[in-house]
Structure 1
Amino acid sequence: MRYIKYLFIAMVLVFSYSSKSYHTHKQIPPYYQLEVQGLNKRITNELSDFSSSPYIEKQIARFNRQWGLKGASLAVVKDDKLVYAQGFGFANDQNDVVQPGNLFRVASVSKLLTGVAIMKLVEEKKLNLDQQVFGPTGIIKDTIFNKVRDKRLYKITVRQLLAHSGGWSQRYGDPAFNSLTIAEKVGDQAPATIHSYYKYIATRRLSFYPGTQTSYSNMGYMFLGEIIATVSGKTYESFIQDNILVPNGIVDMHIANSYAANRFENEVSYYESEGSALVPEYNGSGKMVAKSNGGNPIELLGAAGGWTCSAIELARLVTYIDGEPGVKDILKASSIAEMTDNTYAKGPLGWKTSFNNGTWIRTGSMAGTSAMIKRMDDGLTWVFISNTSSWKGSLLANDINSLMYKICYKVKEWPDQDLFNYYPIHTLPLAKAN
């Protein structure tokens, strides 16, 4: 009877760990119980060894040498199953081999999480995509917006921020990555805060009428983070973790830290291309530092580029928003269609690029980070993340895409497994019944 009791407890733990009650698990043999823990701690490199592994390893090793990448992580999903998860190269200066569960900053891939969070609030009828954002009648009612230089600021909607059509351009640089300049312009002491950016946009003219053009805007996504916090009553990070990630078994995604000393336990170190210049520390200290270690205000970037996660948990998130039948999505089909609508100046939302054939792409690049997600129209999705940035910047995504095209063309059969549902089994003799 005692064995039955322990077996029941183990099964309850497994099924309560994930919101997907239809997950299948390996049968528990007598005198064993399952270890229940996060995906990043369950999956290791050797689980993805199969006949094409040498080919994949050779191609990625060559790619890493070509572009000077210290380490990388690849996750491949087929029909909503994690069929392959592998780390390549090194995670840090101690030459620890990258494992699938290592955390990486993912830069603008963060915008996908922000888009999902906005659509979740829309579905809960707490938000409308066509709501105005700034001013006395907007969502963000900060008194800074009671008086603005350009009245068109009051016309900006949530959808326009998501679609990069809010009215700002990068003609004079990207404000999100020039926080010291922003603080100086508005008379604030560094480090800049989101209120520094409120002051900045309130005293500047827009480059174009909202909704008529597109111009990539990290700053617009920073404001989306504030919208999520305002409407939900939680911090941006907490809302996404509590309402989107953790209920679906994604337990190890976080807003990253700006400094190497504050990395998470399983987070990689970051490397920039050879010859990268030092920059002034974002907090105004006057010190010259690496962009990837105190040069960029990662926490402030937040909704625009602040998340850190593993390739496998990021892949798991995509299975919940991809419209595929294998896993029940957390968004309605209409919301997924809205996010992937590629009408000019209207979408896509969160995704960077979407094609009518069902291919969706999200890329991310900053000092020390190169990342890409591609959901294809044949049931295959892949996530590639590196802890190294290239001199090519965001254009490295084209080379990552070429690499993965070559791999996916060559590999006709992926392992018949679903590592999302893999749980290590440890022997644990149970006490004999009395």
Structure 2
Amino acid sequence: MIRRADSMSRREALALTAKTGFGTLVLSWTGFAQTGPVPTTGKSVPELKHLDEVLVDYLRNNPSLAGASLAVARNGDVIYARAFGYADVEARLPAQPSSLFRIASVSKTFTSAAIMLLVQRGKLRLTDPVFPLLALEMPFHERTPLDPRLNSITVHQVLCHTGGWAANLARNPFETWTGFDPMFSTLQIAQSLGSQSPARPVDIVRFMMTRPLDFDPGTHYSYSNFGYCVLGRVIEKVSGRPYADFVTSELFKPLGIADARIGHSLAEMRAEGEVRYYSADDPTPTSKNVFGGKDVVWRYGGFQVEAMDSHGGWIATASDLARFGASLDIAHPNGPLTGESIDKMFSRPAESGTSSNGIDFTEYYGYGWHVSSTEPEGRSEFHGGNFSGTSAFLMRRQDGVVWAIVFNSTFDNQNQLPAVAMAPAINGSINSTVKWPG
């Protein structure tokens, strides 16, 4: 069975900014009800005490949630970093600002920045066709001819999700192997290739080369985790280094981000300081372990986090995310990207940012970011991510404030993704700030 997670459509992304109330569908479990004060860690920031109150109230009113961490950056610096609830419910360990969380599709913001850094250095062009560049050996070539459109897909098209892949179109993807998200099918792909399970990212790309595209490249937008898997392989090919090594050394090190890394699928492989993940929709071990052995809960081995490196595999602190988001300001002293690269990253793609009659959409997907651009307000950028047991959100506001929130639970008691549900409340609280610290 294909289980979809961490795939955010344009409609879902735009809903993140909607100033609406919470839903009404209540989960059928009681979760981790707080019997006392919600644990709160990190340095208190009196000027932003209202953010504490928003998070504490939310966790207290949503006992299906375990913990959360929130960070805020302003003028390039993280000025607020606090955590709430529990990193480990069973051990009663409070979440810390230093706790590492899976961030799922927020990882795409790192990959797009890495691509732009290679473009900035003259190592890559946005117009370069990705598959001729990768020059991968295609399996089953004699039996499965190459889709002639494959070699025309450009770096630009993959960055803005117009490369030709569409997820969740097929009723039975294991019969057609089209219209699906291969990133959650690494076990089946390895079996099809006759290779060791689970499939590596490069194996997934090689397998997808045997499949026809779902639409003509460059004709319209369709959110694709697989496309960003391809971009990870482009980074490796052009830089001559492993994807995570390039991102860590070239993007993170100049910013002082030291703890972010690619996560692991299995519970016993958790990194030091990484939270435990909780999900009411995944209570018992009924999923096939992609690494073999006994069945597992979906969030811990039902899918392969390691293979999702460049589209959803990172773990990080909320402060890491806020610091990275703040580095994409043109005036940031340690930001790795130039103003020209940043503007291009957030620019409106002609093929998906403008309607057929030439009217510009106010919301669109740039390179690794959802963008809302209106006049005279300006431009804001954001990205969410979710797995079973994970909900994350990173936002760069029009006023220059950057914030990030991460949860180690899937749904709140209204059956909403908690990072999505909290976005309007956090923005409202920031809007009400009268005096900033410092």
Q: What does 1:373-392 align with in structure 2 at a 5 Å threshold?
A: 373-390=394-411
Residue in 2 that maps onto 1:48: 44
Residues of 1 paired with 2:323 and 2:197: CA distance? 38
Q: What does 1:301-340 align with in structure 2 at a 5 Å threshold?
A: 301-323=308-330, 325=331, 327-340=333-346
Q: Which runs of 5+ in 2 are unaligned?
A: 1-39, 171-179, 354-364
CA pair 123-306 structure 1, distance change in 2 beyond 3 A: same
Equivalent position amino acid for 2:392 in 1: A
CA contact under 8 A between 2:108 and 2:311: conserved in structure 1? Answer: yes
Residue in 2 that maps onto 1:9: none
CA pair 388-221 structure 1, distance change in 2 beyond 3 A: same
Equivalent position amino acid for 1:232 in 2: S
Residue in 1 that maps onto 2:65: 69
Residues of 1 paired with 2:329 and 2:63: CA distance? 31
For residue 216 of structure 1, give the secondary structure of its aligned residue in structure 2: coil
Q: What does 1:28-39 align with in structure 2 at a 5 Å threshold?
A: none
Return the offset for 1:225. 0.8
Residues of 2 paired with 1:316 and 1:264: CA distance? 21
For residue 405 of structure 2, give the secondary structure of its aligned residue in structure 1: strand
Q: Are 2:421 and 1:399 aligned?
A: yes
Higher helix share: 1
Larger-Rg structure: 1
Residues of 1 paired with 2:283 and 2:436: CA distance? 38
Residue in 1 that maps onto 2:13: none
Residue in 2 that maps onto 1:201: 208
Equivalent position amino acid for 1:47 in 2: K
CA contact under 8 A between 2:47 and 2:435: conserved in structure 1? Answer: no
Return the offset for 1:268. 1.1
1:351 to 346, 369, 390: 369
Residues of 2 paired with 1:198 and 1:79: CA distance? 40
TM-score normalised to structure 1 length: 0.79
Equivalent position amino acid for 1:368 in 2: G
Residues of 2 paired with 1:51 and 1:239: CA distance? 38
Could you tell which deviates more after superposition, 121-130 or 257-266? 257-266
Return the offset for 1:52. 4.5
For residue 139 of structure 1, give the secondary structure of its aligned residue in structure 2: helix
CA contact under 8 A between 1:365 and 1:393: conserved in structure 2? Answer: no
Give CA deviations for 1:209-228 in whole Å, capped at 9, x if unaligned.
11111111111111111111
Residues of 2 paired with 1:203 and 1:67: CA distance? 46
Return the offset for 1:189. 4.5
Residue in 2 that maps onto 1:98: 95
Give CA deviations for 1:317-347 in whole Å, capped at 9, x if unaligned.
1221123x35453211111111111334375
Return the offset for 1:58. 3.0
Residues of 1 paired with 2:401 and 2:246: CA distance? 29
Residues of 2 paired with 1:368 and 1:96: CA distance? 17
Residues of 2 paired with 1:75 and 1:52: CA distance? 11
Could you tell which deviates more after superposition, 64-73 or 233-242? 64-73
Give CA deviations for 1:45-90 in whole Å, capped at 9, x if unaligned.
442331542x433321232342722110100112222221100111
For residue 235 of structure 2, give the secondary structure of its aligned residue in structure 1: helix
Return the offset for 1:187. 4.2
Residues of 1 paired with 2:270 and 2:231: CA distance? 25
Residues of 1 paired with 2:41 and 2:394: CA distance? 20
CA contact under 8 A between 1:342 and 1:355: conserved in structure 2? Answer: no
CA contact under 8 A between 1:63 and 1:403: conserved in structure 2? Answer: no
Residue in 1 that maps onto 2:289: 281
Q: What does 1:26-425 align with in structure 2 at a 5 Å threshold?
A: 45-50=41-46, 52-53=48-49, 55-64=50-59, 65-66=61-62, 68-92=64-88, 93-134=90-131, 138-144=132-138, 148-170=145-167, 171-172=169-170, 173-274=180-281, 276=283, 278-285=286-293, 287-323=294-330, 325=331, 327-343=333-349, 344-345=351-352, 347-356=365-374, 357-390=378-411, 396-416=418-438
Q: For this pair of structures, how many residues does the alignment match?
A: 367
CA pair 242-81 structure 1, distance change in 2 beyond 3 A: closer
Percent of paired sites with the same residue = 34
For residue 322 of structure 1, give the secondary structure of its aligned residue in structure 2: coil
**What is the root-mean-square deviation in Å for CA atoms of aligned residues?**
2.3
Return the offset for 1:196. 3.3
Return the offset for 1:413. 2.2
Return the offset for 1:397. 4.4
Equivalent position amino acid for 1:348 in 2: G
Residues of 1 paired with 2:235 and 2:192: CA distance? 27
Residues of 1 paired with 2:233 and 2:128: CA distance? 14
Could you tell which deviates more after superposition, 395-404 or 112-121? 395-404
Residues of 1 paired with 2:102 and 2:130: CA distance? 28
CA contact under 8 A between 2:406 and 2:419: conserved in structure 1? Answer: no
Residues of 2 paired with 1:305 and 1:270: CA distance? 16
Residues of 2 paired with 1:46 and 1:205: CA distance? 51
Could you tell which deviates more after superposition, 257-266 or 58-67? 58-67
Equivalent position amino acid for 1:388 in 2: S
CA contact under 8 A between 1:144 and 1:198: conserved in structure 2? Answer: no
